[in-house]
Amino acid sequence: MSCMRRREFIALLGCAVGLPIASSAEQLTKLPTIGFLGQSTRSAASEWAAAFVERLRGLGWLEGRNIAIEYRWGEGRNERFAEIAAEFVRLKVDVIVTSGTPTVFAVKQETSTIPIVFATAGDPVGTGLVASLARPGGNVTGLATLAADLAGKRIELLREIVPDLGHLAVVGNVGNPFTVLELSEVEVAANRLGLKVHKLEIRRAQDIVPAFEGLKDRAQALYVCTDALAATNRIRINMLALGGRLPTIHGSKDYVEAGGLMSYGPNFPDLFWRAAEYVDKILRGIKPGDIPVAQPTKFDLIVNLTTAKALGLTLPPPLLSRADEMIE
C-alpha cells in the first residue's frame, strides 16, 4: 500500500471509530433534567426552591454535576403555565416539579408520559388530578395540602383578634378549582359561627382593586385564599387590606412577609423538601403512579407584629405564645 493510500485509510478509520465515541460522549454529558415550574414569582418561592435543592443534594443529586434544573416562573397566569409546560415537553425534561392545582392541570394537559411531582395541591382527588391518594395512577403524584380543611381554624384565629367579628370578607381566584372549594369551605365555616361572608371573586390581577372598592366598609377582617394569582399580587392585596383597616389571614408565610397580618397552614419549605424525595424515587426508576400522595406533617402560625401595630391591634398573649414565628 502506497504511503498516500495508507494515510487516507488511517484517516478514514479514525473518522469511523471517532463518530460513535463522540456520540457516546454527548450522551454522557446530558444530565437528567428537572423542569421546575414555580406558580408565582422567584421572590415568593425562593425559600421553597432552596429547600427542594437542599434535599436533592442530601440525596446525592448535585445541580450541574449529575443533574440539571430548568427554572421557570408562572407569575400566577394560566396562559403562562401552559406555555412553560409546553416548553418543558419540547426540552424533553425527565421530571416536572410544580405546585398549585391550576399549574398541575396545565402540565398534565401537555404530557401524559413525563412524570409530574406537585409539592402542593389542595385536593388532588376532589379536583381530579389523581385517582386516589394511595394509588394516584398515571404520571402525577406529590403532596396534598388539603388547605380547605383549615378554613375554620383560620377564621377562629381572626376571631381571637377581632372578638366581635360579624362580617368577614374572603378574596379568591375563582379560576382555580381548588380555590372554589376553599371559598365554599370558608362560607360553611363562617355560617357555622354566625358570620356574614362577603366574597371578592377575582380571575386576574386587574380584578383586585375593583373587588376591594366594591367591599367598602362592609367587613371587619379578610380571609385570603392561597393560590398563584394571590401570591403574585400579595403586596397589592395586603396594601389594600391595610388601607381598609382589615386584619388578614393567609395560608403561607410569604404573604405575611409581604405585609399580611397572619398565616396558618402547612410548612411550604418542608413540602418542597419532601417533593425532592419523590423526584429521587422517580429518577431511580419508580413510576409516579405507584408513589402514594402524602399530606403535610408540619403546620405554622406566623404573625407580623409590624402590621398589627399599623392596624392598631393588640394581639392576645395566648395567640402570640402559639406563634411559630413573629415578623418585626
Q: Which three cell numbers stand for residue 17?
A: 471509530
What local confidence, expressed as pLDDT, does residue 29 receive? 60
CA 171 and chain centroid, separation: 18
| pLDDT score at 177 | 87
pLDDT of residue 48: 93
Share the mean pLDDT of the chain. 90
Mean pLDDT, residues 212-222 taken together:
92
Q: Quote the pLDDT of residue 147.
A: 64
What average pLDDT does range 153-180 have in this prediction? 95
Nearest-CA neighbor of 101 among 247, 239, 227, 277?
Answer: 227
pLDDT at residue 11 tops 50: no
Contact 260, 307 (CB under 8 A): yes
C-alpha–C-alpha distance, residues 43 and 92, integer Å: 27
CA dist., res. 223 & res. 208, Å (int): 14
Question: Are the beta carbons of 34 and 279 closer than 8 angstroms?
Answer: yes
Tell me, what's the pLDDT at 216? 83
Query: In the prediction, which pLDDT does 148 show?
Result: 61
pLDDT in tens, 94-120: 999 999 989 999 999 999 999 999 999
- CA dist 159 and 172 (Å) reads 20
Report, as an integer, the average pLDDT of 63-69: 96
Domains detected in the chain: 29-146+267-297 (3.40.50.2300), 148-266+300-327 (3.40.50.2300)
| Whether the Cβ atoms of residue 274 and residue 294 lie closer than 8 Å to each other | yes
- DSSP assignment letter at 212: H
Residue 39 has pLDDT above 70, yes or no: yes
Q: Give the number of other CB atoms < 10 A from CB of residue 60.
A: 10
How does strand 140-144 pair with strand 116-121? parallel
Average pLDDT, integer, range 262-285:
97
Report, as an integer, the average pLDDT of 159-180. 94
pLDDT > 80? residue 236: yes
pLDDT value of position 30 = 84
Beta bridge partners of 169: 198, 222
pLDDT value at residue 178? 85
The 3-state secondary structure of the chain, one letter per residue:
CCHHHHHHHHHHHHHHHHHHHHHHHHHHHCCCEEEEEECCCHHHHHHHHHHHHHHHHHCCCCECCCEEEEEEECCCCHHHHHHHHHHHHHHCCCEEEECCHHHHHHHHHHCCCCCEEEEEECCCCCCCCCCCCCCCCCCEEEEECCHHHHHHHHHHHHHHHCCCCCEEEEEEECCCHHHHHHHHHHHHHHHHCCCEEEEEEECCHHHHHHHHHHHCCCCCEEEECCCHHHHHCHHHHHHHHHHCCCCEEECCHHHHHCCCCEEEEECHHHHHHHHHHHHHHHHCCCCHHHCCCECCCCEEEEEEHHHHHHCCCCCCHHHHHHCCEEEC
Per-residue pLDDT tens over the stretch 304-327: 999 999 999 999 999 999 999 999
pTM summary value: 0.81
Can you give 214-245 as a three-state secondary structure string? HHCCCCCEEEECCCHHHHHCHHHHHHHHHHCC
